[in-house]
Structure formats: structure tokens, C-alpha cells
Amino acid sequence: MGLIFDRDSSKLYESWTKSKHGRVIDKMVEECVFTLLDPKPGERVLDIGCGDGNHLLMFNRLGLDISGIDASDYMISRARERLGKKCTLKTGMAEDLPFDDNEFDIAVLINTLEFLDDPMDALIEAGRVARRKIFVGVLNSLSWFGVNKRFHGYFSKSIFRNIRFYSLWELKSYMKRAFGEVPIQWRCARVNPPFLTGTGTTSSEGGRFSRCPFGSFLGLSATMQYRLRTEQHPLEVTLGRIGV
């Protein structure tokens, strides 16, 4: 189950997302989602662990049919205030989604796995409800950002005290166990330490995202594939009229 946000924990999370560094990470998320998912207007997307709806607003701007689920009644109420009737919102667990198989084209877990005790059940459920692609975005355990936040989390009241960071290899292993041998793409974005730049700015070889696995934010997408395919054969026998 993991951490379920209440008023106090949501304030800690919000204070980070609204910080200079948090805003840079959020911009990375949007660019990474667009690159790896290539979402089409009208596609159905489920945001698992949607929080107060920040990423749902992004998907709405892209013209998608949006739905969100979160374990926190408090966060769902905040998301409903922001999104109104633009979105279908439900309170529920990532490990037991109240949706039908293949109900959505895309399922996303953005900064969700970090707060779960066991990511496998959540990933398996995402694979069950998504028809086309799944996107997972996490904070990187092998980045300067990950090391720094884990260290400070031990000594201060921080949302990072309660979360789990992931490496690229760890997350790819989880996704392969959950989805099988499906195509997986990934990108990584780096935030330069403030003591080098004065601000948390992004950089990478050839652009904002790179194939270097030590950046602050990891984005991975899995393309769903049907494991059973039926073959259509032409009917070779001519049927006579009934009753003849």
C-alpha cells in the first residue's frame, strides 16, 4: 500500500513541486511523456497515483480523454476541484484498479512507485488496464539529486524521508517481470547541482534528455503486445439452406 497522502504530507510534497528544482523536474516529466508515449488526441489515459491532478492537466492540454485514481481521498478531492467534469476520478489502490481489462490506451505512473511498498502489483495492474503503452517516471537513486535527497531526508522533515528511489536497471527488471519481453524505451534527464550552476538547470548531450542513466529523472515506456493472436481462415464449405 505505502504512503497515503493526508493534508500534512501533501503540503510537504507540494512545497517540493513548487520549488525551483521541483518545477524543473515537472518540465522534464512533460517532455519525457511526450517523447516516449507519443500520445494521440482522444486516447484514453489513466493516471495511477494522480495526486491533485497536476499531470492530468497536462494530458488534458494534449487533448486526451483523462481519468485518475489515487489512494488518498484528500488528493482526489483536490484534483476534483482543479479538473471539475473534465476528468473521471476515483479513490482506489494502484495494486487493485477498479477498471476493466484494456479499458485505457495508456496508463501512467509518475512519481507513484516511489511511495508504494511493492511496485510489482501496481505494474501488473497497469499492464492489465492499458491497451497500448505504459509510462513509468521515477526519481533516480543513482543521481546526485537522489543521493542528496535521501541524505537530507534522514535529518529533516521532508517528503523524501518516506520514498524509495529506483535505478534504471532495477526498474527495467520490474517492468520485464510485470509485462514480459515487451519493447521498453527510456530516457534520462539530468539536473545540475545548484553548487555548480546556482540553479537547478537541466543539461544532457544533444538535448535535455540523454541515454546516460545517472540523471535525476528516469522515464520508461513499455509497449504492450498481445500474447495470443487468433488467425482468420476463409470458410471452404458452402452451407446449404436450412431445412433442405
Cα atoms in the 13 Å half-sphere on the side-chain side of 230: 2
The pLDDT of residue 174 is 96
The pLDDT of residue 57 is 94
Q: Give counts: helices (H), strands (E), the chain.
A: 8, 9
The pLDDT of residue 191 is 59
Phi/psi at 79 (nearest 5 deg)? -65, -40
Helix or strand run (H / E) with residue 61: helix 54-61
The pLDDT of residue 199 is 44
The pLDDT of residue 206 is 33
Query: How would you classify the pairing of strands 184-191 and 202-203?
Result: antiparallel
DSSP 44: E
The pLDDT of residue 200 is 45
The pLDDT of residue 201 is 46
Helix or strand run (H / E) with residue 169: helix 168-179
Domains and CATH numbers, the chain: 7-223 (3.40.50.150)
Cα separation, 158 vs 68, in Å, equals 26
The pLDDT of residue 28 is 82
**Side chain identity, residue 70:** D
Low-confidence stretches of the chain (pLDDT beneath 70): 1, 16, 144-161, 190-211, 226-244
- Tens of pLDDT, residues 111-125: 999 999 889 999 999
**Which has the closest alpha carbon to 208: 34, 89, 76?**
34
The pLDDT of residue 244 is 47
